[in-house]
A and B are shown apart, each in its own frame.
Chain A
Amino acid sequence: MNLLEDFSIGLFFWQTLLFVFLLLLLKKYAWKPMLTAVNDREEGIRNALDSAEKAKLEMQNLQADNQKLLKEARAERESMLKEAREIKNKMIEDAKDQAKEEANKLVVQAQASIQSEKKAAIAELKSQVANLSIEIAEKVVREELSNKDKQIKLVESMLGEATLN
């Protein structure tokens, strides 16, 4: 078989023409849209994976944040409780102080009123004693009115004795 003799110009012509035509047709209508679609899809998958990774990271961050918040909340609660306890103690302390003060005031008032009562009582007592002494003196005077000189002497001695202490 002679290769050159076998070479058919006609077939070569048709093959080249048809192949180039097919190439251009497929390029425009099949390969370009296909490869673009595949590239887009791959891009999409890559992006989806990236965003999933990002979401995971964000999730972790969020969880860390939550943990932090929880910790903070707990600490705050702790401090609030402590504060409350302190306030309570202080209030009790204050109340005690106030009560003591009040009691002291009352005692002082009571003492003052006792003093004044005592003074009044003494004054009353004095007047009573005076009245009593006058009554006694009246009786003595009535009995001993006869002996006037003696009487006067007696009154004078008595009065001398009954000087107000």
Chain B
Amino acid sequence: MQRKITVKTITLLLCLVSFVSFGKNDDAAKGDKKSEIKEYIQHHLKDSYDFSLFSYTTDSGEHKYIGAPLPVILWDNGLKVFSSSNFHHGETLAEVDGDYYKLYHSKIYKTDAQGTINYDEDHHPTNVKPLDFSITKSVVMIIITGLLMFFLFRGLAKSYATNGGIAKGFGRFFEPIVLYIRDDIAIPNIGEKKYMKYMPFLLTVFFFIWFLNIFGLTPLGVNVTGNIAVTASLAILTFLLTNLTGTSDYWKHIFDPLGDSMPWYAKIPLYIILIPIEVLGIFIKPFSLLIRLYANMQAGHIVLMSLIGLMFIFKSWLGSPLSFGLAFAISLIEILVALLQAYIFTMLSALYFGFAAEEHDHSEEAHSH
């Protein structure tokens, strides 16, 4: 009953909010703001060539950016390295060794001296995109996270030696998590015998994803784990580790799932269907990892940013605090999601490693049958 009333109140408030805000703003200005926010969110979700903390517009209408430029590394008939400050946040062309590059929708295109962008019929640019190995904002965050993890866990590991096997210092906070990953993720899924082989990967991937997720929620807001290239890289490593360490039992399970339970001629028609499914499964498993992490983090950022954007659209005493409250609640949920996604990625990786590492005790099985 209480719940119903609360829901009703919120609905009423929402109606009121929309009414109030409609009354205040004219539609044109609102549409403008909306597209601006949409643009902003789009921009935020993408990687960036400079580490900008925030930007503002001066009274004279000039865009000012606070942050640091990062090196751009291109491979275009030779290695080309220059500072991203040359782009002036997409406002000017960067000229290197007689070639012109333009930053257009967060991507670098090769252009002529005037910076013309040619479009095809779907309004996609047809300009050449040089191979891009730039140290982007995401790469910087990966390096920062890597350094943080290294010093944190190196310190923790050292403290064991100096303190008689008992963790000391700030790293102590992470010891239970390491033990949890060992006792509740690695050992149950992989088994007592082989888990040590996979532990370094599981621990690294867990803390890497978790820390990057948390960094994504800080005001720095770097959406690294919501980038498909990053999640793809992690998933491919899981894929490689699974299949390169696969035992003969693992491969037998894929190519001969029925085993000795029926004669070979009976298996042929079944295997025409079964084997492709099993082989597809090898690829689908890591692919699901990739998409899950990417979509979760991406969606979290979109929702959070949209709610923050709503504050500026409503611009009312009722709507803005409400969307602020919602944004706050979503932030709390996102903190949980940050941990949860790291956990799920690690858990499923461990599960796949468990499949790869499984070894049936054939003699024992033969006895029991």
Query: Which residues in window 143-183 of B have CB below 8 A to A?
Result: 143, 146, 149-150, 153-154, 156-158, 160-161, 165-166, 175, 178-179, 182
Q: In the complex, A146→B153 CA distance in Å?
A: 169
| A22-B146, A23-B204, A34-B160 as given contacts; A15 in contact with B154, CB under 8 Å | no
Q: Mark A1-41, 1 if CB is under 8 A from B, else 0.
A: 10100111111111110111111011101111111011011
| A26-B200, A29-B157, A30-B153 as given contacts; A19 in contact with B131, CB under 8 Å | no
Query: Which residues in window 216-272 of B have CB below 8 A to A?
Result: 227-230, 232-234, 236-237
Q: In the complex, A38→B180 CA distance in Å?
A: 12
| A23-B200, A31-B200, A35-B196 as given contacts; A11 in contact with B154, CB under 8 Å | no
Interface status of B100 (Cβ within 8 A of chain A): no
Q: In the complex, A33→B157 CA distance in Å?
A: 6
Contacts of B278 in A (CB 8 A): none
Q: Is the CB of A10 within 8 A of B196?
A: no
Q: Mark B131-145, 1 if CB is under 8 A from A, else 0.
A: 111111011001100
| A8-B132, A14-B142, A22-B146 as given contacts; A37 in contact with B160, CB under 8 Å | yes
Residue of B at shortest CB range from A14? Answer: B139
Q: Least Cβ distance of B8 to chain A in Å? A: 37
Q: Is the CB of B134 within 8 A of A30?
A: no
Contacts of B47 in A (CB 8 A): 8, 11
Q: Least Cβ distance of A31 to chain B in Å? A: 5
Residue of A at shortest CB range from B124? Answer: A5
Residue of A at shortest CB range from B42? Answer: A1
Q: In the complex, A126→B139 CA distance in Å?
A: 160
Interface of chain A: mostly helix, strand, loop or mixed: helix
Residues of B bordering A, CB below 8 Å = 42, 46-47, 73, 131-136, 138-139, 142-143, 146, 149-150, 153-154, 156-158, 160-161, 165-166, 175, 178-179, 182, 196, 199-201, 203-204, 208, 227-230, 232-234, 236-237
Residue of B at shortest CB range from A37? Answer: B160
| A26-B150, A35-B182, A35-B196 as given contacts; A15 in contact with B142, CB under 8 Å | yes
List 10 A-B pairs, minimum CB-CB distance, nearest first. Answer: A37-B160, A30-B153, A27-B200, A12-B229, A11-B229, A41-B165, A15-B233, A33-B157, A10-B132, A10-B133
Query: Which residues in window 27-70 of A have CB below 8 A to B?
Result: 27, 29-35, 37-38, 40-41, 44
Q: In the complex, A28→B318 CA distance in Å?
A: 55
Q: Is the CB of B230 within 8 A of A15?
A: yes
Contacts of B138 in A (CB 8 A): 11, 15
| A12-B232, A15-B142, A37-B165 as given contacts; A22 in contact with B157, CB under 8 Å | no
Residue of B at shortest CB range from A18? Answer: B142
Q: In the complex, A34→B154 CA distance in Å?
A: 9
Q: Is the CB of B204 within 8 A of A31?
A: yes
Q: Is the CB of A29 within 8 A of B230?
A: no
Q: In the complex, A147→B237 CA distance in Å?
A: 182
Contacts of A31 in B (CB 8 A): 153, 157, 199-200, 203-204
> Which of B73, B161, B196, B199 touches A33 (beta carbons < 8 Å)?
B161
Q: In the complex, A30→B199 CA distance in Å?
A: 12
Q: Least Cβ distance of B151 to chain A in Å? A: 10
Q: Is the CB of B160 within 8 A of A14?
A: no
Q: In the complex, A70→B200 CA distance in Å?
A: 60
Interface of chain B: mostly helix, strand, loop or mixed: helix
Q: Is the CB of A35 within 8 A of B165?
A: no
| A19-B233, A27-B200, A29-B150 as given contacts; A14 in contact with B133, CB under 8 Å | yes
Q: Least Cβ distance of B187 to chain A in Å? A: 12
Q: Least Cβ distance of B161 to chain A in Å? A: 7
Q: Least Cβ distance of A37 to chain B in Å? A: 3
Q: Mark A70-91, 1 if CB is under 8 A from B, else 0.
A: 0000000000000000000000
Q: Least Cβ distance of B96 to chain A in Å? A: 16
Q: Least Cβ distance of A126 to chain B in Å? A: 122
Q: Is the CB of B133 within 8 A of A37?
A: no
Residue of A at shortest CB range from B294? Answer: A3
Q: In the complex, A23→B153 CA distance in Å?
A: 12
Q: In the complex, A8→B136 CA distance in Å?
A: 11
Q: Is the CB of A22 within 8 A of B149?
A: yes
Q: Is the CB of A19 within 8 A of B234?
A: yes
Contacts of B227 in A (CB 8 A): 6, 8, 11
Contacts of A16 in B (CB 8 A): 233, 236-237
Q: Is the CB of A30 within 8 A of B154?
A: yes
Q: Least Cβ distance of A88 to chain B in Å? A: 68
Q: Least Cβ distance of B361 to chain A in Å? A: 25
Q: In the complex, A30→B204 CA distance in Å?
A: 10
Q: Is the CB of A8 within 8 A of B229?
A: yes
Q: Is the CB of B200 within 8 A of A38?
A: no
| A8-B132, A34-B156 as given contacts; A41 in contact with B166, CB under 8 Å | yes
Q: In the complex, A37→B166 CA distance in Å?
A: 8
Residue of A at shortest CB range from B166? Answer: A41
